[in-house]
Amino acid sequence: MNESGIITFFDSPERSPLDDIIKDYLLFQVNPLINQILEGYPEFVVVLNKNRQIVAFNNKVYTAFNASSPEQILGKRVGEVMNCIHSHLMPGGCGTSQFCRECGAAKAIKFTNEKNLPSEEECTITSSLDSKEISFEFNVYSQPIAFKGTNYTLFAVKDISGVKRKEALERIFFHDILNTTGAISGIANLLGDAENKEEREELLNAIMISSQQLMYEIVSQRDLRYAEDGNLQLNIREISLNEIIEIAYKLYERSDHAKYKVFTLQLPEDDIKVKSDKTLLIRCIGNLIKNALEASGPNEPVKVYSYYNDEFAYINIFNNQVIPENVRLQLFQRSFSTKQSKGRGLGLYSVKLIIEQYLMGKVSFVTNDVFGTVFTIQLPLEFPQQEKAI
């Protein structure tokens, strides 16, 4: 809790009064050199006061923040004008929630404010726009400036979304898909040396599984791109809950990910029907299963189970590991990953995007020392009337 009595988990919640904001704004407005410098930035740039509130900005801010007048921008913090999904969680606003501790923009601004030194960070901001969540990826720069005897922070951004998407595709097509095609080629070469029918059938089955995995990777990335663009087509029909979960389970039951793991499936005896897109739902469940298997060590349990009530079906994936706090605060961000390779981090992001914005469900998780980690997909039994959610 701050001295003001307002709870904060990261930066100070204090705000300057409107009169001080307007005074600073007019001070910058009447200075031609400052305005020329601000307008010279290729993307949006703002000047922040000691309480991280915007007191000056270039004209690119109007487009970036979908604003039409200074009143919609002045006095707010960066996350608030961008409608960051975490900026309104706490009474203190942007910079005061638990999630802000892992935000590159919040960290850069705090560092510059406290150390009077420049800072550079990568930042993913998820904004809520027209009931749709959109992820933005930036390099952010904060620079201390002194003007008329007062210290301010110059905060500028560079959009790196294209770079991040390129890294993701490079990882997928140069790593995952190359490995899969290599496996297919290797198995195909062994066919000529097969000594009997049983061995040939086993090799052919391995080729089929690898080919399906190759197609799965390509189609997954295509659908993710369609989903982000708002063009993903749905095939909604009535399907068996047990059937889709069992299909997703069997995709990984004999995979390398499941080796040496205690991988189990528990389904309700009384099956029910849900209205959803079978292919997309299986893919989302499969992503969560793969993550759980990858996070688990030898002989550790990974369990898939489900239940339902009169309105919703719940699909759960359990593993024994506990997610560290710094990781759990970033899990659903587009490029965040616990893996070291560049370009990873699309799995959970794509699950949340497809389940919540297309299949009208919810994705959540709990993690603690008592119960381990459980990811849950909540689906309505009846799909809403609209053809797609966005």
- Say what the pTM is: 0.70
pLDDT for position 14? 96
Residue 52 exposed, middle or buried by CB count within 10 Å (0-12, 13-18, 19+):
buried
Q: Chain centroid to CA 268: how far?
A: 31
Which one-letter DSSP state was computed for residue 234? P
pLDDT for position 323? 92
Residue 150 has pLDDT above 70, yes or no: yes
What percentage of residues in the chain have a pLDDT greater than 90?
60
User: 241-286, pLDDT tens digit by residue?
Assistant: 999 999 999 988 878 889 999 999 999 999 999 999 998 999 899 9
Pick 302 or 6 by higher pLDDT. Answer: 302
CA distance 247 to 280: 12
pLDDT for position 340? 45
Pick 365 or 216 by higher pLDDT. Answer: 365
Residue 361 has pLDDT above 90, yes or no: yes
Average pLDDT over residues 51-64: 95
Average pLDDT over residues 154-181: 76
Average pLDDT over residues 358-383: 94
Pick 169 or 129 by higher pLDDT. Answer: 129
What percentage of residues in the chain have a pLDDT greater than 70?
92
End-to-end CA distance of the chain: 39
pLDDT for position 337? 60
Residue 389 has pLDDT above 80, yes or no: no
pLDDT for position 345? 45
CA distance 331 to 363: 12
Average pLDDT over residues 130-155: 91
pLDDT for position 251? 84
Helices and strands (H, E) in the chain, number of each type: 12, 12
User: 299-353, pLDDT tens digit by residue?
Assistant: 999 999 999 999 999 999 999 999 998 888 888 877 666 554 443 445 788 899 8
Mean pLDDT of the chain: 87
Chain position carrying tokens 């004999």: 254
